[in-house]
Chains A and B, each alone.
Chain A
Amino acid sequence: MKSLAKEYRSVREIVGPLLLVEGVSGVTFNEIAEIILPDGSRRRGQVLELDGDRALLQVFEGTTGLNPSQTRVRFEGRPLQLGVSPDLLGRVFDGLGGPIDGGPRPIPGEYLDINGTPINPVSRDYPSEFIETGISAIDGLNSLVRGQKLPIFSGSGLPHNRLTAQICRQSRVLGQAEKFGIVFAAMGITFEEADFFIRDFRQTGAIERSVLFINLADDPAIERIATPRMALTAAEYLAFELGMHILVILTDLTNYAEALREISAARNEVPGRRGYPSYLYTDLASIFERAGRIKERPGSITQMPILSMPEDDKTHPIPDLTGYITEGQIILSRSLHQAGIYPPVDVLPSLSRLRDKGIGPGRTREDHANLASQLFASYARGREARELAVVLGEAALSEIDQAMLRFSDAFEKEFINQGESESRAVLETLDAGWRLLAGLPRSELKRIRTEILDRFLPDPNRNA
């Protein structure tokens, strides 16, 4: 359709990460351009808007050092692509898909548009396979299933990386041995954080089954727009073409959203909340919705995005919009962390929307749903009692409230708290829950069906 060789020297404006080229023809929306500097070095840009003969580009590597009169632009007539092949496994790439592990560029079998296309809702298979992470706060109460997108809402200084690495190490689907892989995308995190994961993957051997895309804090910020899409394109290929079960870790989404805001601000768009663009929801959805299962295809994509909540505020636009798109969230709590509880998962506001399809008879155990509901209710009541006790003193509490208070303390110390290398089987987790409930009067266990109570509640309490 167009001559690929055509170069434009008509750059008119450079604002922040944006570059405006005039006099272009035959250019299309979203296509990729090569930006050539006087010294011959090249950068990549993407068309954000076309108006008559003017094309507005975002430059992934940033505009530092660019000069309007000395820069040449060549449009490539295609969207940003990732070359995929089984050789991706075991490799480390930069945020735009270039190898940084010293190895050669993998020979691609095919090139895929990194923006992907939406999965037809009709073709989706509902995620229902329980993943045992070995972590009680997740398995017991907010269970993860294959094909789910379950983010970790954290804050600076909280051990989200340790928790995520533990999940990567321990996760397995009960009674199955299938091809499992990890796709890891780092967006604007520090070298140390990225290094922590890479070491962990190396130690466990997971690196052989992993693909890593690394954009560090000192890498170009705009590149981060492409990084998660690169990762998810690789994940879709591995899952839906090669039939692997892929866990995608995206960290840290907050840095991603900030890069998006930077571009929006440079374009003088009307800002939404806190200066983030009003299309942040749609944009995040185009990332998170690339998780799931497809009917009649063996693989799956499970996403665990990590995002740090500014000021631990979950109503900040990034966690807020994320929570509206993802299928739940695991929220880490600073006060639990300070109390020495690991993992400091605040189970009450945490949620797994797909839990009920993944647990129960034949999956975990028939008491799981009732037990979890009761643990939530009793722990919530215990926390309320704890607040009252702060004001009025423990003695002023009713007998039941005192029992609830004792329950919730034990629940945090014995159920949520566990070692970083301790992998608890899900049945162990459920039994631990029952042991704690045994300390409460039976009449308080309203969330549990009588038959289940009769079968599972430990003896000492049976006649209480």
Chain B
Amino acid sequence: MENGEIIKVSGPLVEAVNMKSARMYDVVYVGRQRLVGEVIRLRLDRASIQVYEDTSGLGPGDPVFPSGGPLAVELGPGLLTSIFDGIQRPLDLIARETGSFIRRGVNLAALPRDRRWDFTPAVRPGDKVTAGDVLGTVPETELLVHKILVPPETAGEVLEIAGGSFGLDQPVGLLRTPEGQVPLKLMHTWPVRRPRPYLEKLRPEIPLVTGQRVVDTLFPVAKGGSAAIPGPFGAGKTVFLHQVAKWADSQVIVYIGCGERGNEMADVLLEFPNLKDPRSGRPLMDRTVLIANTSNMPVAAREASIYTGITIAEYYRDMGYDVALMADSTSRWAEALREISGRMEEMPGEEGYPAYLGTRLAAFYERSGRVKCLGSRSATGSLSVVGAVSPPGGDLNDPVVQMTLRAVKVFWALDDQLAYQRHFPAINWLSSYSLYLGNLEGFLGAEVAPEWPELRRWAMGILGREAELKEIIRLIGTETLSLQERLLMDTARSLREDFLHQFAFDENDAYATLQKQYLMLKTIALFHQKSEEALSEGVPLNRILGLPVREQIVRNRYVAEDNLSHFHALEKEIVTSFEALHN
């Protein structure tokens, strides 16, 4: 193919002529340093190219080399525990190659070719296989068996297959397809902007357990669901996403740091290898893939990073795993889109964002889902997507927030007033919502407790009533409240402080199983119910609220998961305390 020639350089956007053979979204190499770029507009033989690296030093006359293909990622064993930039360049290998600072024009394969993997075949020569069938397995980390699948859009008869130790470049077998014989390898590539195929989407009806009480109990997200967490700076978006990445009951986590802080990625990198998965006891890093395109890294690669991340996530979903993806922050992605759009002099929509922002956002979140995977084995996998949104000034009228809310089913509203009190997670219980409640009631009722849905409704009722009473107090003080109302105010406070508030850095409190959440909530409800009964029998409110057993409810959070029988004892104690009040 012919080379193009640069005629214009404007920040991350380069225009080149003599690009007749280029197709939309093809990858090209720009300048003598062969910086990676992507074609985003074509007009006659003139192409607009977003360049994924700093364009300093480029000038008119410099060459542009076509690659002939779209931006694609490498999919195979070795993804887990790795950290990539927005276009899947391996940052750990780059550090080894070029030192602590990222130099330009480094081209390293995303997955290391020198590493060998133990492959155990699951098919035999003569077997007919189709896309999505399992050819064999590789133990990728101690937490995850990597299934080597027949790549999408491929089918045929296995001619040869061998077990043993293989590098990613070496064929493990041979497949006869209608188009001829193709070698079978442990990896394949897939274009990031194209969702990976599946058989059908299923209704999400199993909760993604995050261990965060305000989420799991009040505003749960389903496996295969989508959620957004918008909020001003300092409200705790990143800490919350880290918590979900640590404790969510998914087999694979893909964490995308999109235009955020370098230290936050360093934090994950240093902390995750030392944190144990609460279910398996293995380091959390063993199930994690990190994509880091920090705020000071090139803006165009930030745009690509969420597609790189979600394609990797889909790949593990296709193996039949539950995958959770966190994108922090989608606002920075949208800003990257806006910056490139502005430089192309497109007509802006709201707040300068391009008119296609809403479509792109919706298409991204729609790649989540619980699906029946390709292949003859009727496996199901799920991909849950949680996106942080960082609206200017925390203003929810921001177009990115509004367009995101049209696409997602769960909205966790961060509240800076709660953050100021250091009430974390600072998720507001009045304005947040989850549209999965109905879907999940069946599962929660069966797996946790039949009265779970009832208990949740009770808690939401108390919190809602508290907000109304607070308005009254603001106007006329506490004097006019009835005893029942004062009791309710106190129960609401207990719900907020002893249940919803959670310490991310406390060993026993950072994560709570559904069972513990249920028991904690149940003791608060029991105390409330007993108090109401006592009130109606004429026991003074201050005697009820002065019961020493309340101190124990306050400390519920510190009860260890292997000591949940404590709650049964506590329930008994509550009952006996109230009996003692009557005597």
Q: Which A residues fall within an 8 A CB radius of B?
A: 25-31, 48-53, 79, 113, 115-127, 147-148, 240, 269-273, 278-279, 281-282, 285-286, 288-290, 292, 294-295, 297, 314-315, 317, 320-321, 323-325, 327-329, 348-349, 351, 353-354, 356-357, 369, 372-373, 376-377, 380-381, 388, 391-392, 396-398, 443, 446-447, 449-450
B311 at the interface (CB under 8 A from A): no
User: B267, B296, B475: which has the most chain A beta carbons within 10 Å?
Assistant: B296
The interface residues of chain A lying within 8 Å CB-to-CB of B497 are: 446
Q: Which one of B18-26, B107-115, B258-266, B523-531 is at the interface?
A: B258-266
Determine whether the beta carbon of B423 is less than 8 Å from that of A123.
Answer: no
Question: Of the candidates A278, A354, A398, which one forms a contact with B263 in the assembled complex, judged by CB atoms under 8 Å apart?
Answer: A354
Interface digits, B1-26 against A, CB 8 Å rule (1 contact, 0 not)?
Answer: 00000011111000000000000000
On whether the beta carbons of B342 and A376 are closer than 8 Å, the reply is: no
Residue of B nearest to A393 (CB): B477
The answer to whether A282 and B339 have CB atoms under 8 Å apart is yes
* Residue numbers in A under 8 Å from B351 (CB-CB): 272-273
Do residues A289 and B558 form an inter-chain contact, with CB atoms below 8 A? Answer: no
Number of interface residues of B (CB under 8 A): 80
For the complex, give the distance between the alpha carbons of A216 and B391 in Å. Answer: 33
> Contact between B295 and A282 (Cβ–Cβ < 8 Å)?
yes
Establish whether residues B342 and A270, one from each chain, have CB atoms under 8 Å apart when the complex forms.
yes
- CB of B55, distance to nearest CB on chain A (Å): 5
Minimum CB distance partner of B343 in chain A: A269
Question: With A126-B267, A315-B392 known to touch, is A118 a contact of B60 (CB < 8 Å)?
Answer: no
Question: Considering the complex of A and B, which 7 residue pairs feature the smallest CB-CB distances, nearest first?
Answer: A315-B393, A285-B295, A323-B233, A30-B56, A124-B266, A28-B59, A289-B296
A377 in contact with B423 (CB, 8 Å)? yes
Residues of A within 8 A of B263 (CB): 124, 126-127, 147-148, 292, 327, 354
A287 to chain B, nearest CB (A): 9
Given known contacts A52-B8, A292-B262, A376-B421, A25 and B100 CB-to-CB distance under 8 angstroms: no
Q: Are the CB atoms of B101 and A119 closer together than 8 Å?
A: yes
Q: Is the CB of B234 within 8 A of A289?
A: no
**A contact residues around B394 at 8 Å (CB):** 315
Comparing B91-99, B367-375, B450-458, B560-568, the segment that makes contact with chain A is B91-99
Contact A120 B60 (CB under 8 A): no
Tell me the nearest residue of chain B to A267, going by C-beta: B10
Contact status B339-A120, CB under 8 Å: no
- In the complex, which residues 480-508 of chain B have their Cβ closer than 8 Å to any Cβ of chain A? 497-498, 503, 505
Are B294 and A289 in contact (CB-based, < 8 A)? yes
Q: CB-CB < 8 A to B338: which residues of A?
A: 272, 278
The yes or no answer to B468 lying at the interface (CB within 8 A) is no
Contacts of B348 in A (CB 8 A): 270
CA gap between A325 and B394 in the complex, in Å: 14
Residue picked from A25, A53, A377, A381, most chain B C-beta under 10 Å: A377
Least CB distance from A367 to B in Å reads 14
Q: How far is the CA of A277 from the CA of B87 in the complex (A)?
A: 26
* B420 & A388 in contact (Cβ 8 Å cutoff): no
Chain B residues whose C-beta falls within 8 Å of the C-beta of A273 in the assembled complex: 351, 392
B296 and A290 form a contact (CB under 8 A): yes
List of B residues within 8 angstroms of A388 by Cβ: 473-474, 477
Tell me, in angstroms, the Cα distance from A251 to B235 when the chains sit together: 26
Given A325-B261, A388-B473, residue A120 in contact with residue B478 (CB < 8 A): no
Nearest A residue (CB) for B505: A356
Closest to A374 in B: B422
CA distance A224 to B206 in the complex (A): 55
Binary CB contact string for chain B from 144 to 182 against chain A (1 if under 8 A, 0 otherwise): 000000000000000000000000000000000000000
Excluding A270-B348, A272-B352, A396-B479, 13 further A-B contacts by CB distance (< 8 Å) are: A29-B57, A51-B7, A120-B91, A125-B270, A273-B392, A289-B261, A289-B295, A315-B394, A320-B232, A321-B392, A327-B263, A349-B234, A388-B477
Would you call A123 and B352 a contact (CB within 8 A)?
no
Q: Least Cβ distance of B298 to chain A in Å?
A: 9
Asked whether A125 lies within 8 Å of B266 as measured between CB atoms, the reply is yes
Q: Is the CB of A115 within 8 A of B56?
A: yes
Most buried by B among A28, A349, A354, A381: A28
A-B contact list, 11 entries, CB within 8 Å = A28-B56, A115-B56, A117-B101, A122-B269, A272-B352, A289-B261, A294-B100, A323-B232, A327-B263, A349-B416, A397-B478
- B262 and A289 within 8 A (CB): yes
Within 8 A of A (CB), among B79-131: 83, 91-92, 94-95, 98-104
Please name the residue on chain B nearest to A352 by beta carbon.
Answer: B234
The answer on a CB contact under 8 Å between A49 and B9 is yes
Chain B residues positioned under 8 Å from A49 (CB to CB)? 8-11
Partner of A270, one of B299, B352, B390, B419: B352
Is there an interface contact between B101 and A118, defined as CB atoms closer than 8 Å? yes
**Given the known A-B contacts A52-B8, A126-B267, are A29 and B55 also in contact in the complex, defined by CB atoms under 8 Å?**
yes
Q: How far is the CA of A49 from the CA of B57 in the complex (A)?
A: 11
Best-surrounded residue of A48, A124, A381, A447 (most CB of chain B within 10 A)? A124
* Contact yes or no, A121 B332, CB < 8 A: no
- Interfacial chain B residues near A121, Cβ < 8 Å: 83, 91, 257, 262, 265-266, 269, 292, 294
**Closest A-chain residue to B233, C-beta based?**
A323
B318 within 8 A of A: no
Cα of A227 to Cα of B13 in the assembled complex, Å: 26
Cα A225 to Cα B288 with chains together (Å): 39
Please, which residues of chain B bring their CB within 8 A of the CB of A124? 262-263, 265-266
**A122: which B residues are within 8 A, CB to CB?**
83, 91-92, 94-95, 266, 269
Taking CB atoms, residues of chain A closer than 8 Å to B56 are: 28-31, 79, 113, 115
Docked CA distance A447–B394 (Å): 27
Interface window among B65-73, B135-143, B243-251, B547-555: B547-555
By the criterion CB–CB under 8 Å, are B420 and A380 in contact? yes
A327–B266 CA distance with the chains assembled, in angstroms: 13
For B539, the chain A residues whose CB sits under 8 A away are none
Q: Which residue of B lies closest to A2 (CB)?
A: B59
Q: Does B297 contact A (CB under 8 A)?
A: yes
* B579 within 8 Å of A (CB atoms): no
Q: Report chain B residues within 8 Å CB of A349.
A: 234, 416, 420
B395 at the interface (CB under 8 A from A): yes
Assembled-state Cα–Cα distance A118/B99 (Å):
11
B320 to chain A, nearest CB (A): 31
Selected contact of A29 from candidates B58, B261, B503, CB within 8 Å: B58
A320 in contact with B393 (CB, 8 Å): yes
- Determine if B335 is an interface residue (Cβ-Cβ < 8 Å): yes
Residues of chain A within 8 A of B269, CB atoms compared: 121-122
Interface residues of B in 326-376 (CB under 8 A from A): 332, 335, 338-339, 342, 348, 351-352
Given contacts A289-B295, A320-B392, A377-B421, are A123 and B58 in contact (CB under 8 A)? no
